[in-house]
Chains A and B, each alone.
Chain A
């Protein structure tokens, strides 16, 4: 490893890999990828189910197969990779302090940094589920690692809290390996998982999905022995008298993902409270010149295909920054209006030219609605939707021509049709 690099990429998962390839192909060859695990690929390595890559490759790949496509591209370009290497600190001056067992602690200076650290799972602690602290409680992703990487089945009778995709995938996976999944409980009146996962992971195996239900008690001293599940009202408060009891030895939590932004915070980069990722321009540049963010560390995506797409934007922009330096910007802010929980990018640089795709999520399930982007009281883009759900990221395209005529803040909102 050298002391100076044009581009340092933090994270060797799908975002980091695609960013590295894009940066290289846009003219910068002096790149370092830092990865804390033993191998490249990130969380894809434990996602052995199929369904990845349909958008990008028109094929249904497993996670490791999808990762391998990008790892091959990285290797072909002989991009330098450092695995089992953890980044400890990042400064605003783009100094990256890292640690590994071979070289100890050292610092590399980058001209540009791409943040591609991904996200982590929300924990039980973040949910305040009552009960003791016995063994047998896992996040869905931890259970996935046990089953798919280590080869252990973490339990025989399972109740899953939350209907996120990882939980649904694990319901099927543990069932196929001989466990009995008794129930999936979702506190919301809708599932946050993909419809196809409800069909092929729950319905295929007769696993019940209880919407508007949550776990109100976990029982057991040394090991989980059971849970109490209750129905909740509109305010998500448990309703007395609706309790159901399940005898189980395992509880999985699949209750959402949080971008992993400790390094971003450390560098003093502005974060959005809505996405919990960095505030960025359309080229995925943060408020710190030359520092870019992409993939799940920026916004939690539904599909890895979109992570790769976003990482290519960031990788290309990082290369341009190294080659051409910082830009003079003309900034327009992008904000959320009615029924929109977040929108990204949060800022558009008009001088950049080209079209801009806005990514956002809606706050609830809406039927027969219209999503609009407005600026200065005028509608600049709109899309009608038969159904919009928070679990599916929405997009609106602003063409170069549209952007050329805009001077005021852009607001994205959703209204239900009359």
Chain B
């Protein structure tokens, strides 16, 4: 069976064709780089995404956040619920862990500085 994917690793958006035999990957064609190969391998077995959002600081300001590793696409909405329950104390610096192990070992980290 063949699956056609659009790679999301970079703006080029390579079209990748993955040939499968059951659960086994037979070939990956069309990727422009190794990141694309890894993306395609994940995408046909367990698709993952980095989730980005915001959390509230005590003073009402919003702090931008992301998962520091891709998390299961199928769990994005559960992860969003966890993110929306987070309240942070200021100051926050880029890279600060705001919630440990939000999913599969990935942490929720700040992507903005807020005084």
Contact = CB atoms under 8 A, between A and B. Distances in A.
A204 B11 contact: no
A68 B95 CA distance: 12
B52 interface: yes
Contact of A176 (B51, B64, B65, B112): B51
A65 B11 contact: no
Interface size class of B (residues with CB under 8 A): 20 to 34
B29 to A, nearest CB: 14
A50 B8 CA distance: 11
Contact of A177 (B5, B56, B80): B80
Contacts of A323: none
A125 interface: no
Contacts of B13: 194-196, 199
B3 interface: no
B60 to A, nearest CB: 8
A196 B11 contact: yes
Contacts of A203: 6
Interface in A173-220: 176-177, 194-196, 198-200, 203-204
B90 to A, nearest CB: 15
Contact of B6 (A147, A149, A177, A195): A195
Given A176-B53, A176-B77, A64 B62 contact: no
Contacts of A177: 53, 80
Contacts of A195: 6, 13, 15
Contacts of B64: 48, 62-64, 148
A176 B76 contact: yes
Given A65-B94, A176-B77, A177-B80, A50 B11 contact: no
A54 B11 contact: yes
Interface size class of A (residues with CB under 8 A): 20 to 34
Interface in B91-115: 94, 111-113
B110 to A, nearest CB: 9
A303 B10 CA distance: 11
Q: Which of B15, B49, B53, B73 has the most CB of A within 10 A?
A: B53
A302 interface: yes
A151 interface: yes
Contacts of A204: 49, 73
B7 interface: yes
Contacts of A303: 11
Nearest to B47: A204
B62 A49 contact: no
Interface in A296-321: 302-303
B39 to A, nearest CB: 10
A60 interface: yes
Interface in A41-74: 45, 48-51, 54-55, 60-65, 68
A48 B94 CA distance: 12
Contact of A68 (B5, B80, B113): B113
A291 to B, nearest CB: 31
A194 B7 CA distance: 11
The 8 closest A-B pairs by CB, nearest first: A195-B13, A64-B112, A199-B6, A62-B111, A48-B64, A196-B8, A196-B13, A200-B8
5 contacts: A50-B50, A50-B111, A68-B112, A151-B62, A196-B10
Given A48-B52, A54-B11, 8 more contacts: A48-B112, A50-B66, A60-B9, A62-B52, A148-B64, A176-B77, A195-B15, A199-B5
